[in-house]
Amino acid sequence: MDGLRQVTHIDNVRLGEDKASVVIIDQTQLPSKAEYLTLRTAKDLYDAIFELKVRGAPAIGICAGFGIYVLARTIDADHYDDFYSQFRKYREYLDSARPTAVNLSWALNRMERVVTEHKELPVEEILRLLEAECNAIWQEDMEMCRAISGYGLSLLKNGDGILTHCNAGPLATSRYGTALGPLFLGKEQGMEFKVFADETRPLLQGARLTSYELQKAGIDVTLICDNMASLVMKNGWIQACLVGCDRVAANGDTANKIGTSGVAILAKHYGIPFYVLGPSSTVDLSCKTGEDIRIELRSPDEIKKKFYQAPMALEEVKCYNPAFDVTDHSLITAIITEHGICYPPYTESLARVIAG
C-alpha cells in the first residue's frame, strides 16, 4: 500500500515554510517529471493557475487561499483602507485567471471576508487571521475529499468497471480526490476496480495525470482515446461513470472538462449510472442553469501544436478550443458532495446541501 499512500497523500499545493511563497507540483510536467515550483509574486500565481500548472477546482481554491495570503504579507500599509485597497487589486487579478472554476472566486471571496469583517483590527492581526483561514481551506478540503470518497464508494461494487474523464484525483485536490477518491478509498479497503481513463483532449489530463495516479497506486487502469468511450460501454465493461466538476448550477447542470457531456449522453444510451463528484463549494446557486456558466476558451495551439514535435494542422486552420462543456442535469444520475448524495430534482437537493 506504500504506492497508494504516496499518491493519495501527496502535498501538491502547500504554503511555503517561509510563509512567503506557495509551493506546487507543476502538473504540466507530469508524468515525465515531478517538478516543484515556488510561487512568490502575483504574476507567478496568476500564471500557475492560467497555464494549468496547478489545476483541479479544489486545488485551485487551495492555491488561491495560500496565494492571496502570501500577497497580503507583501502589502506595505499601516492603515486598513490602504491595506484593503491593495488586497482588492490582488484578489481581482488572481480571480481573472480562470473564469469557469467557481472554487477560485469562492476561496478568494472567503479570504476577503476575513479582511472586511475585521476592519477594526490592526493589519498584523488581519494577516494572522488570513493565515488561519487559508490553512482552514486546505484542512477542510482534506476532510471533504474523504467524505466524498466514502459516499461515492457506497455506490460501487467490488470488480466494477469505471469510466472517468479528465482528472479529479489527489493532484486536483488535497488528498484522495473527488471523482477518483472512491477508487483510492476502495483500494485501501481491499476492493478492486477496472478503470478506463479517457485521454481527455485537448490537454490530455486523463492520459498525463489520471492514468499516472491510478497506475502508481496499483489500480487496474486502461487508457483510451475519448472517441473509444462508446465501444467500451457497448462491450459491457463499464458499470459506472465518475467525473468531477468545476461549477454546478442550481438546477444540476454541471461544467466539467470538454467532452464530459458526450460521455454522459453515451452513458444514458447504454443505461450506465453517471455520477458527478465535487465539493459543495462548486455548487453555485446564483447560477440558475448551465446557460449562465461562462465557458473558458483557450489557445488554438493546444490543439494544433501542443504535445506534437511538428504542427498537426496548417497554421491558417481555425480552431475552436473550449476548456469545458456543460452536462445537462437530466443526464446525471446523482451529484455527490461531502454532505451526501444528491438526487433529482437538483433544485431541491442541492439547495439542502448548501443550507447545511
Average pLDDT, stretch 193-200?
98
Is 115 found in the same domain as 172?
Answer: no
| Sheet strand arrangement including 194-198 | 220-224, 194-198, 161-165, 240-243, 274-277, 334-337, 340-342
Task: Taking residues 268-284, report their average pLDDT.
Answer: 96
> Are 177 and 124 in a shared domain?
no
Give the residue numbers spanning the domain of 170. 151-355
Q: Which helix (H) or strand (E) covers residue 63, if one does?
A: helix 57-73
Confidence of residue 337 (pLDDT cuts 50, 70, 90): very high
On whether both 45 and 186 belong to a single domain, the answer is: no
Give the whole-angstrom CA distance, residue 114 versus residue 313: 49
For residues 67 and 187, membership in a common domain is answered with no
Q: Where is the domain boundary, 145, 167, 190?
A: 145
Looking at 122, 145, 168, the residue that finishes a domain is 145
Q: Write down the mean pLDDT value for the chain.
A: 95
**Predicted pLDDT of residue 1:** 67
Please indicate, yes or no, if residue 3 is contained in any of the structural domains: no
Indicate whether 115 belongs to any domain.
yes
Q: Which of 96, 115, 145 is at the close of a domain?
A: 145
179 and 314 share a domain?
Answer: yes
Whether 246 is a known active-site residue: answer: yes
Q: What is the pLDDT of residues 35-68, one digit of tens each?
A: 999 999 999 999 999 999 999 989 999 999 999 9
- Residue 132 sits in the same domain as residue 183: no
Q: Is the same domain home to 115 and 211?
A: no
For 204-256, what is each residue's pLDDT tens digit?
999 999 999 999 999 999 999 999 999 999 999 999 999 999 999 999 999 99
- Same domain for 223 and 312? yes
- For residue 81, give the CATH number of its domain: 1.20.120.420
193 and 335 in a single domain? The answer is yes
Please indicate, yes or no, whether residues 131 and 155 belong to a single structural domain of this protein.
Answer: no
177: left (phi over 0), alpha (psi -120 to 50) or beta: left
Quote the radius of gyration of the chain (alpha carbons, Å): 20
Whether residue 35 lies inside any domain: the answer is yes
Contact 207, 199 (CB under 8 A): yes
- Which pLDDT band, with edges at 50, 70 and 90, does 7 fall under? confident
- Any idea of the CA torsion for 56, 12, 170, 109, to the nearest 10 degrees? -40
Same domain, 164 and 185: yes
Residues 175 and 78 in one domain: no
| Catalytic one of 95, 160, 246, 325 | 246
Tell me what pLDDT residue 101 has. 73
Average pLDDT over residues 187-199: 97
Q: Is the pLDDT of residue 322 over 80?
A: yes
2 in a domain, yes or no? no
pTM over 0.85: yes
Total tally of structural domains belonging to the chain: 2
Domain holding 349: CATH number? 3.40.50.10470
pLDDT of residue 354: 86
